[in-house]
Amino acid sequence: MTSLILSTATRFLLPLFLLFSIFILFRGHNQPGGGFVGGLIAAAAFALHAIAYDVKRTRRLLGIDPRNLSALGLLVAMGSGMISLFLGEPFMTGQWLTLSFWPVGQLEIGTPLFFDVGVYLVVIGITLTIILSLAEE
Amino acid sequence: METLLAFVVGGLYAAGLYMMLRRSVLKLIIGLGLFGHAANLLIFTMGGLTRAQPPILFGLPADAAAGVADPLPQALILTAIVIGFGVQAFALVLIRRAVQAVGTDDLDQMKATDT
Amino acid sequence: MGLVSAVLSGFVLALIAPWIYRIARGATGWLLAIFPLALFAYFLSYIGAVAAGDVVRVSYPWVPSLGINLSFYLDGLSLLFAFLITGIGALVLIYTGGYLKDHSHLGRFYGFILFFMASMLGVVLADNTMGLFLFWELTSVSSFLLIGFEHEKESSRAAALQALLVTALGGMALLGGFLLLNQAVGSWEISELVRQGDAIRTHSLYIPIVLLVLAGAFTKSAQFPFHFWLPSAMEAPTPVSAYLHSATMVKAGVYLLARMTPALAETALWTGTVTAVGAVTMVFGAAIAFRQSDLKLILAYSTVSALGIMMMLLGVGTAGAVQAMVVFLFGHALYKGALFMLAGAIDHEAGTRDVNRLAGLRSAMPVSAAAGLLAALSMAAVPALFGFYGKELFYESLAEDYLMPVLLFASVLTSMIFVAVAVLAGIKPFIGETTSSAKQPHEAPISLWLGPVTLAATGLVLGLWPSMVDKSALLPAIHAVLWRPVFLELALWHGLNPIFLLSMATLASGSGLFIFRSRLLRLFSWLDALRDCGPRNGYSLALAGLNAAAQAQTRVLQSGYLRYYLLIVVATATVLSGYKLLQDIESLSFGRLFDVTFYEAAPALLILLAAFMATRVRSRLAAIAALGVVGFSVALVFVLFSAPDLAMTQFSIETLTVILFVLVFYHLPRFAILSSAWTRARDTFVALTAGGLITAIMLKASGVELHPKISTYYIENSVPLAHGHNIVNVILVEFRGLDTLGEITVLAIAAVGVYALLKFWPGKTETR
Amino acid sequence: MKIQLILPLLIPLTTAILSLLAWNWSTGRRAISVAGAFLLLADAAWLLATVWDDGIQVMAMGNWPAPFGIVFVADLFSAMMVVIAGVMGFAVAIYSLVTMDRGRESFGYYALLHFLLLGVCGAFLTGDLFNLYVWFEVMLMASFVLLALGGERPQMEGAIKYVTLNLISSALFLAAVGLLYGVAGTLNMADLAQKLRAPDDANLVTTIAMLFLVAFGIKAGIFPLFFWLPASYHTPPVAVSAIFAALLTKVGVYALIRVFTLLFVQDIGYTHTVILILAGLTMVTGVLGAIAQNEFRRILAFHIISQIGYMIMGLGIFTQAALAGSIFYTLHHIIVKTNLFLVSGVAHFVHGTYDLKKLGGLYKNFPGLSFLFLIPALSLAGVPPLSGFFGKLTLAQAGIASEQYVIVATALAVGLLTLFSMTKIWLEAFWKAPPQLPTEACDAKALGSRAAYYLLLSPIILLALLTLIFGFAAEAILVVSLRAAEQLMNPAEYIRAVLGKTS
């Protein structure tokens, strides 16, 4: 299942896909997108890699078991919600930090973004778990 | 359009149910898939349909904001879609295992666990 | 507090009895007997006060929310029963030590029997109907455990089950009766209920109350047609038969009716039912007892008969009848307990209980023979033994009302049989020529004869000097039932009145019955044919019927066919909600049907078309494709109606799903048409009905908007408070972030599941 | 802000995640699981105490006010349910230490157990209808995997029915939520309660209510929607059966009670009568199903259905006393039924079978276990003074007070039949001599060590003790149940707690 064109293309496409997925992730708060779709795109990139090479190489490339990735994602999502608990506010209360990059502008960073990152990680994790283990069958 | 969609939803439910009443386990899961679509469309319809005014306020003048589509059903459906995907993925693999274990996709052969 | 600990300490002792046995071994019975003896002495201390008309009542709130108190009540009736329970209980404990010597479960046996003793005390002392019911059920449970004591015997288990089911049936009825009583008068306390007798008798619930309470009493006291469990219960070790199934537990029903007499009696319903059932039981039990040859069965059926006598007397309910009932009850407990214990001792020594094979044991077992003689004479109601008084009063009470010749006739007949049976069970084994038996009989050890000798001797002593008990113990019991002053003086000699003559005639003809027993049995042997249509068979039939009905129902409902399950579920939903919808079907709104452009209608129609195709196609790939088309068209609808996030997600998910479908089902065969045309027509109908229902609900609901939607809040606050412009996304990660947390959890679990299903299954040995 | 209200969510979730991450470390997983279960129990008790002392607790997630955000609400009913879920989680977590096989352990069993608890606690605590759907799905997904984990053929067959029927339920639930949103424009249950109180179109609301009844009825296992339960409950390892028996149907019961006291009281002449009729039919069909069985676990599974009837009966009668009876009964039943499953597991451990024909001799060889069986078995049958008696008594008394004699008679008669099938187990598995002597492999030694046996018995003893406490100290439980029922019958308190100002 190794096609030279595909594997070469994948080598370029993979980082592009990943960048794009992160873009979609962060843009989600204001434009269509978000952690879920972003995660799917990233997962698709790795799936493509698995098709181009083989599952073993993809697993090595990932460096982390996708199951752990989804567990970590859950942990991130939950953790982002727990920050507010320590401040005496209800679970998942958004905490916002406004960073000024004068003169470029301001960047608002908040726990909901971390939450979305958690979603992103979970989606990558589970999609790859399913696809890779199906492919190994 | 709501009325039309009401019929579409009813049709989807009917088709999904009919599929589930067949003996093939594959038809069963396709039926479940149709059910999922039906439920999503139902919520979408019941939330009220709005044309070409997505609930995205980016660059939207303040007075236009009031007319955007109801975002809540959309959020609900999104959650439902994703959950449905997880369930369906699992159900698919389950059925594959079941077919392997029983040796057929005929549901009538899978009744050993009832009395 | 004394009464409470008198009842409850027995339970504690029951719990530790097995451990006591481990230490004390052979001496356990003697040691444990101290407990009931102490209780006996304790109750004895009340005898003066109770005879003087005092009652003791203690009450502690237990479940006040339901009005249930832990309340106990000691009056003459309770006291009489308490004496029987503790007195005979002590003897039975000693007897057990000899009878079940070295049995591997003897420790448990002691525990059970003490448990029973405490429960039985609870029954007779409880003042709260729920308390009474509690102990009542505990006696059933302990009876179950004791009857099934030889639990590896099939017959023991069956008998235990039978006894439990019959008495629990009654218990259920009794609970119902008590519930209704509480509903009628608003009290659980018996002492309150008996005061409200008039209110109860005129209450609209009176008839069900009486029938339910009677059902409870009749099952417990083995009245026809519920009597059959008692003979079966003879599977139990003999101490159990002597204690539970003759002296105490089976009298609980009698106790209950006596107790409830002031509250419920003196109506035609009560008198008629109780008298009739008692009389039938009396004659029936006696007749069958006469036919038996197993010592224990003879005694069991005669117990049934004796219980019938007591019931009948309660039903008659006159002062004389109640007097007779109490005196008879007391006498019966004495002689029947003795005879049962003797039967056990004989079985133990001679190795058989068959009266036809037993004879001549007097020389080997002189003490037992003496006890047997005394007990049998008491049962036969020979003057100078206590049994005599019960019989005299019994005849007297029926004779005093000349309207009861039938009852009197039946009673005389029964008493005749009692004479014969008494001789058969208490005397015959000891007289005549010794038969060759497998075992060389010896006198039983003291633990085995102490009980019968004590009881039989008591019968003799009290028979000679009845004044020892008549006013102190028996009269207060009678008062407790009648609630009016009566006079009781038991005397050996009343003069040569007709009743005395009748008694003598009974004795003579009863002896005749004994002598001609075998001939009579042959004469009536044709009655054997009736054996298979008794209530016992009713029980078996009911059990078999229950099982058959259960099997049939389960086969039909839990058929194993998933599609039938689905059909039923969907039909239920359709009927339940359709019923309400149909009530105003005319208000469906079709208003916005034509408010649609072509390019909007196209994806909608495509969905319908694809869904239809999915049901028709025969190739699995085509079906999957059809499903995909539905999904993508739904996404199109989302695009058209301002839901870009939804559309995006739907597109990507749908793609992924189709890939998964193909991956998973690549190797499956084509669909076969597995169902008949009729089935498909039926399914089509059901499916269209259910779908139509949903459409109808939607049409109806889209015409209704009761309240403005809450969405304006999100639109207004998304940017200022939640720092986001994509409201859907803001809802997902902020306003309703918890949904999303749950959603990704579902995904994570699904992944665990998929992984486990793919990597871990029986065919696959590799783990991890 | 009361942190104990959110911890029933965070503790199981954290536990589950940590168990997932520790997939390579068996001891760690076990320790995490037991510790997590214990913490959940402790927090649940804390929560219950708080609710008892300070009234209904509310936490608005993300600090978004109701009805716009999702709120967690703990009234006494939900707090009691969370406590009982904690007890069950703890008991089963310990029981699993001995009975769960290595394969399942390493494929995520402990994580799934706590995911299940997460879904259950979330469902008990959420005050938002759609959020309830989400927690239902979490619970269901975890139960799907638990049921199928191991991949044996009976598991697969049972799982297909289980999954399908439960997905139908979810689909109905989702549709009903959509319809209700279309009509009332909100998802918060307190807000819905207010808006549905006097709707212009009661028939439409009732129609939707019936969809909820069927959706939750499937989960609760009421007649005629219970088919998934007997088809599947006896297929997985017994610890899984036990936790299923403890919690799954009860979440359905909880949801039924919640929505039919808070939301759908417009037409109780129809809705609650339907519920009452279904309750009676559920009792009867369930117990008859049990009588027809000859296998320890299958008998128990059918009895769940029968007992669900009692829990629904109080809802159908719809008085405070009746609801208190339902709540009491539910709590009692969870303890007792789980315990029976645990005992059946020990029997299976000893003899390698659940078949009553092949079982026997337990009374002779395991007297302690036998008496531990008797406590829940007699309690289930309603023998006083055990917990079941007070549950039945409360319900029966409430039924008679409402003059619902038929259902009371049914309830009492079904109690008798329950006793019958419990004695059947007793006679066959305990009293009967074993058909053949247990082979060396199946003997008590198969349990490993004595310590393992006692560890196995410890949750059984714990639950038996609870049964006794529920009996002897029935008053304490009843008082709380009555107060909980009062909160359910007068939703004003709930609505005020969630929405702040009164309606």
Any idea what the Cα angle at residue C553 is, between residues C550 and C559, rounded to 5°? Answer: 125
Helix (H, G, I), strand (E, B) or coil at C58: strand
CB atoms within 10 A of CB C544: 10
> Is the Cα torsion angle D408, D410, D411, D415 positive or negative in sign?
positive
Same domain, residue pair C298 and C433: yes
Selected residue of B5, B25, B94 to mutate for chain D interface (largest D Cβ count, 10 A): B94
Chain-chain contact of B94 with D144 (C-beta, under 8 angstroms):
yes
Alpha helices in C558-676 (DSSP H): 562-581, 598-616, 620-640, 644-665
User: What domain range is C738 assigned to?
Assistant: 710-768
Q: Closest by alpha carbon to B86, among A137, C748, D112?
A: C748
Q: Is the peptide bond before A103 cis (omega within 30 degrees of 0)?
A: yes
Same domain, residue pair C715 and C667: no
Across B3-12, C444-453, C660-669, least confident range? C660-669
Same domain, residue pair C417 and C549: no
Chain-chain contact of D204 with C551 (C-beta, under 8 angstroms):
no
Q: Which residue has the higher pLDDT, C673 or D262?
A: D262
Chain-chain contact of C754 with A129 (C-beta, under 8 angstroms):
yes
Across A101-105, C69-73, D113-117, D165-169, least confident range? A101-105
For C725, the closest chain A residue by CA position comes to A30
pLDDT of residue C497: 82
**pLDDT at residue C526 greater than cutoff 80:** no
Mean pLDDT of D155-181: 92
Same domain, residue pair C501 and C513: yes
Nearest-angstrom CA–CA distance, A115 and C349: 86
**pLDDT at residue D443 greater than cutoff 70:** no
pLDDT of residue C768: 35
Q: Kindly list the residues from chain A whose CB atom is less than 8 angstroms away from the CB atom of residue B86.
A: 126
Selected residue of D144, D156, D186, D232 to mutate for chain B interface (largest B Cβ count, 10 A): D156
**pLDDT at residue B114 greater than cutoff 80:** no
Same domain, residue pair C594 and C674: yes
Q: What is the ipTM of this complex?
A: 0.94
Among the candidates C262, C283, C305, a domain finishes at C262
* DSSP state letter for D71: E
How many residue pairs bridge chain B and chain D with CB atoms within 8 Å of each other? 108
Selected residue of C636, C661, C727 to mutate for chain B interface (largest B Cβ count, 10 A): C727
Residues C71-111 pLDDT 10s: 999 999 999 999 999 999 999 999 999 999 888 889 999 99
**pLDDT at residue C470 greater than cutoff 80:** yes
**CA dihedral defined by C85, C86, C87, C89, rounded to 10 degrees?**
80
Q: Look over chain C and give the mean of its residue pLDDT values, rounded to a whole number.
A: 89
Chain-chain contact of D64 with C710 (C-beta, under 8 angstroms):
no
pLDDT of residue C670: 66
Across C346-350, D41-45, D398-402, least confident range? C346-350
Let me know: does C459 contact C374? Beta carbons within 8 Å: yes
Distance of CA C668 to the CA centre of its chain: 55
Mean pLDDT of D73-85: 96
Q: Kindly list the residues from chain B whose CB atom is less than 8 angstroms away from the CB atom of residue A36.
A: 78, 82
Same domain, residue pair C484 and C629: no
B7 contact partners, CB below 8 Å, separation of at least 6: C608, C695
pLDDT of residue C277: 95
Selected residue of C15, C569, C759, C768 to mutate for chain D interface (largest D Cβ count, 10 A): C569
Expressed in percent and rounded to 5, the helix, strand and coil fractions of chain C are 75, 5, 20
pLDDT band, very low/low/confident/very high, at D284 (cuts 50, 70, 90):
very high
**pLDDT at residue C588 greater than cutoff 70:** no
Q: Kindly list the residues from chain A whose CB atom is less than 8 angstroms away from the CB atom of residue D61.
A: 90-92
Report CA-CA distances (Å) from C729 to A111, B83, C383, D24.
14, 16, 101, 36
Nearest-angstrom CA–CA distance, C11 and C17: 10
Q: Kindly list the residues from chain B whose CB atom is less than 8 angstroms away from the CB atom of residue A120.
A: none
**pLDDT at residue C578 greater than cutoff 70:** yes
**pLDDT at residue C766 greater than cutoff 50:** no
State the nearest Cα–Cα gap between A22 and chain D, in angstroms: 24
Among the candidates C262, C294, C327, a domain finishes at C262
Mean pLDDT of D54-80: 92
Percentage with pLDDT > 70 across chain C: 94
Nearest-angstrom CA–CA distance, C545 and C549: 6
Same domain, residue pair C432 and C330: yes
pLDDT of residue D437: 57
Tally of domains in chain C: 5
Q: Kindly list the residues from chain D whose CB atom is less than 8 angstroms away from the CB atom of residue C562.
A: 160-161, 164-165
Orientation angle between helical segments D189-196 and D492-499, nearest 10 degrees: 130
CATH classification of the domain holding C591: 1.20.120
Chain-chain contact of C727 with B55 (C-beta, under 8 angstroms):
yes
Q: Kindly list the residues from chain A whose CB atom is less than 8 angstroms away from the CB atom of residue B68.
A: none
Chain-chain contact of A31 with B56 (C-beta, under 8 angstroms):
yes
Neighbours, chain A (3 or more CB pairs < 8 A): B, C, D
pLDDT of residue C675: 76
Orientation angle between helical segments A111-136 and A35-52, nearest 10 degrees: 30
**Whole-angstrom Cα Rg for chain B:** 19
Residues C317-341 pLDDT 10s: 888 899 999 999 999 999 999 999 9
Same domain, residue pair C87 and C151: yes
pLDDT band, very low/low/confident/very high, at C767 (cuts 50, 70, 90):
very low
User: Hey, what are D464's tokens?
Assistant: 């038996």
Q: Which residues of D touch A (CB under 8 A)?
A: 1, 3, 6, 9-10, 13-14, 17, 20-21, 23, 59-63
**pLDDT at residue B85 greater than cutoff 50:** yes
State the nearest Cα–Cα gap between D91 and chain C, in angstroms: 22
Nearest-angstrom CA–CA distance, C103 and C110: 11
Let me know: does C417 contact C423? Beta carbons within 8 Å: no
Among the candidates C506, C540, C558, a domain finishes at C558
CB atoms within 10 A of CB C712: 13
Q: Could you tell me which residues are beta bridge partners of residue B24? A: B106
Q: Is the peptide bond before D224 cis (omega within 30 degrees of 0)?
A: yes
Q: Kindly list the residues from chain C whose CB atom is less than 8 angstroms away from the CB atom of residue D433.
A: 152
Residues C371-416 pLDDT 10s: 999 999 999 999 889 999 999 889 888 887 665 788 888 999 999 9
State the nearest Cα–Cα gap between D19 and chain A, in angstroms: 9
Chain-chain contact of C754 with A81 (C-beta, under 8 angstroms):
no
pLDDT of residue D436: 67
Alpha helices in C380-404 (DSSP H): 387-399
Across C119-123, C254-258, C435-439, D353-357, least confident range? C435-439
User: What domain range is A40 assigned to?
Assistant: 4-136
State the nearest Cα–Cα gap between B83 and chain C, in angstroms: 6
pLDDT of residue C667: 65
For B74, the closest chain D residue by CA position comes to D178
pLDDT band, very low/low/confident/very high, at D440 (cuts 50, 70, 90):
very low
pLDDT of residue D439: 52
Nearest-angstrom CA–CA distance, C415 and C417: 5
Nearest-angstrom CA–CA distance, C686 and C678: 12
Same domain, residue pair C508 and C549: no
Selected residue of C581, C596, C607 to mutate for chain B interface (largest B Cβ count, 10 A): C607
Report CA-CA distances (Å) from C564 to B17, C62, D222.
12, 49, 16
Residues D293-305 pLDDT 10s: 999 999 999 999 9
Alpha helices in C356-484 (DSSP H): 366-379, 387-399, 405-422, 446-464, 475-482
Quick one: CATH architecture of B2-51+68-109? Orthogonal Bundle (1.10)
**pLDDT at residue C590 greater than cutoff 80:** no
Of the candidates C722, C732, C747, which has its C-beta nearest A94's C-beta? C722
Of the candidates A32, A92, A134, which has its C-beta nearest C644's C-beta? A32
pLDDT band, very low/low/confident/very high, at C523 (cuts 50, 70, 90):
confident
Residues D456-493 pLDDT 10s: 899 999 999 999 999 999 999 999 999 999 999 999 99
Any idea what the Cα angle at residue D21 is, between residues D16 and D27, rounded to 5°? Answer: 85
Q: Kindly list the residues from chain C whose CB atom is less than 8 angstroms away from the CB atom of residue B91.
A: none
pLDDT of residue D310: 95
Q: Kindly list the residues from chain A whose CB atom is less than 8 angstroms away from the CB atom of residue C740.
A: 77, 115, 119
For B89, the closest chain A residue by CA position comes to A130
Tally of domains in chain A: 1
Chain-chain contact of D195 with C707 (C-beta, under 8 angstroms):
yes
Q: Kindly list the residues from chain B whose CB atom is less than 8 angstroms away from the CB atom of residue C719.
A: 57
Nearest-angstrom CA–CA distance, C349 and C341: 12
Same domain, residue pair C582 and C673: yes
pLDDT band, very low/low/confident/very high, at C556 (cuts 50, 70, 90):
confident
pLDDT band, very low/low/confident/very high, at D281 (cuts 50, 70, 90):
very high
Percentage with pLDDT > 90 across chain A: 23
Of the candidates B58, B78, B93, which has its C-beta nearest A31's C-beta? B58
Residue ranges covered by each domain of chain B: 2-51+68-109
Same domain, residue pair C694 and C640: yes
Nearest-angstrom CA–CA distance, C665 and B28: 13
Same domain, residue pair C414 and C273: yes
Any chain A CB within 8 A of the CB of B86?
Answer: yes
Chain-chain contact of D427 with C576 (C-beta, under 8 angstroms):
no
**pLDDT at residue C765 greater than cutoff 60:** no
Q: Find which of B29-33, C352-356, C535-539 is predicted with most confidence, using mean pLDDT.
A: B29-33
